[in-house]
Structure 1
Amino acid sequence: MTYELYYWDGIQGRGEFVRLSLEEAGADYVDVTRGPQGMRAMMKIMESRTAPHIPFAPPFLRDGDLIISHVANILMYLAPKLGLAPADEGLRAVTHGLQLTITDLVAEVHDTHHPIATSQYFEDQRQEAKARSAEFIDNRMPKFLGYFERVLQQNPEGPEHIVGKSLTYVDLSLFQVVEGLHYAFPRGMHGFATKYPALAALHSSVRKRPRIADYVKSERRLAFSEDGIFRHYPELDKDAA
């Protein structure tokens, strides 16, 4: 059966974390809003007054009659089916916890350019965004990246993967995080590979995986932009040395 992924058209956004797992697994899926049904199909589900279990916001995934929302929740559901989750039930819970931590990080990245309100344009909160970004780059980003570096280094199965000895969806999500941070804060990420060698090695190894490499080069992989989660505003990046 074909999975149906629903997300805002024209941007990577949070939907990209789900796409990476689907692409790595070679799963049969359709990005619904990019097809002929367009955004109407997604809004019809979200605005339904009769359907059960309607999602609050995208991304969400339809698998038959089941609709599942929230990135970490979608990945927890999909990963065992795609071969991207540990076999051990306890380690699956650990993996889900790591993805939830990525959810927290992504929310903080979003708030660097929208610190006051999502309903206001970046230009309406420029000064607040500059202060929030400085705090994120100096304190919050190193805290998150340092945490994931330690988890990799302390994995009993070795630092090649975040959990266990095989690729999981969290490895793919960390690849996306590193890609996005390099785009949004190129000066702030200066020295990344030296500070976080295990995380840098993971990012490199995921990029070289055949299906991910093909996806990254394909038209299906949209470019980062100033409409997504990871946005590059030079004034929000770390000041040049």
Structure 2
Amino acid sequence: MEPVSERYILYYWPTIQGRGEFVRLALEEAGVPYEDVARGREGMGPIERVLDRELELHAPFAPPVLRAGELLIGQTTNILQFLGARHGLAPRSLTARLWCNQLQLTIADIVAEAHDVHHPISVNSYYEDQKKEASARAKDFRSQRIPKFLGYFERVLDNNAGSGGYAASTKLTYVDLSLFQLVAGLRYAFPNTMARLQPQWPRLIALHDMVAARPRIAAYLKSKRRIPFNEDGIFRHYIELDEQV
């Protein structure tokens, strides 16, 4: 674990959890100081400035972006790989770190699909303008994609049985934090579907509960730093897109 003298700066939208929440969870678990800059006095100004870098060789495409000293790191999985190595949230061996990265990229895949349920045609159009298509996409997501992805993560946990309930190591990694967020987000967006299906994934649900009970995470979840789920983020709860009971 590397000593860190600087304060991290997280650039992400100030009113949603979104992809930035995966980064926030890692920072909170690591117990390192960071500034969620767009939630401060300047609002969106710092994000606009960090993205307006046409002459920057390594300019980020979109938030989340993390500043660590002279480093400016974009993409959720890339940021987590950096934080994991720096703060003991990833294994030491190359093979194990690549495995963590692979799992995180798979989490990113289902997160993107969860978003596209309510924006199946275009992210530039309102949900209300694509409700018919969203209904069809939601049906497939509920019946096929959620079981396929979460069933896979359950098998990953089963294959790592004896590790203390963790997904990729014998200790907590950023992957475990992200799986917690994935389950929490799907429970919010599809409560009826998850209530019916989640008994199939006991190890995954146990991991969610174990992460939620960790002291720093539990404190964060109760704090004002944790932005509530809402209908502007990735995981959105529209009654008509969930199973009806």
Task: Pick the TM interval, shorter chain.
Answer: over 0.9
> In the aligned structure 2, how far is the partner of 1:49 from the partner of 1:76?
26
- Residue 72 (structure 1) aligned with residue 74 (structure 2): no
TM-aligned CA distance change 1:132 to 1:188, over 3 Å? same
> In the aligned structure 1, how far is the partner of 2:197 from the partner of 2:32?
32
- Residue 185 (structure 1) aligned with residue 190 (structure 2): yes
> In the aligned structure 2, how far is the partner of 1:208 from the partner of 1:158?
18
Give the one of 26, 36, 39 matched to 1:21: 26
> In the aligned structure 1, how far is the partner of 2:234 from the partner of 2:164?
28
- Give the TM-score normalised by the residue count of structure 1: 0.97
Contact 2:115 2:235 in 1 (8 A): yes
SS at match of 2:44: helix
> In the aligned structure 2, how far is the partner of 1:59 from the partner of 1:167?
23
Return the offset for 1:72: 0.5
SS at match of 2:209: helix
Which residues of structure 1 form unaligned runs of 5+? none
- Give the TM-score normalised by the residue count of structure 2: 0.95
> In the aligned structure 1, how far is the partner of 2:98 from the partner of 2:244?
39
Deviations 1:175-210 (A, max 9, x none): 000000000000110234421000011001000000
Which residues of structure 2 form unaligned runs of 5+? 1-5
> In the aligned structure 1, how far is the partner of 2:164 from the partner of 2:84?
21
Contact 1:156 1:164 in 2 (8 A): no
Deviations 1:18-40 (A, max 9, x none): 00000011011110101123211
Contact 2:38 2:44 in 1 (8 A): yes
Contact 1:157 1:164 in 2 (8 A): no
SS at match of 1:67: strand
SS at match of 1:191: helix
Overall identity of the aligned pairs, in %: 54
Superposition pairs for residues 1-241 of structure 1, below 5 Å? 1-155=6-160, 157-158=162-163, 160-240=165-245
Pairs aligned (count): 240
Return the offset for 1:82: 1.3
Return the offset for 1:52: 2.9
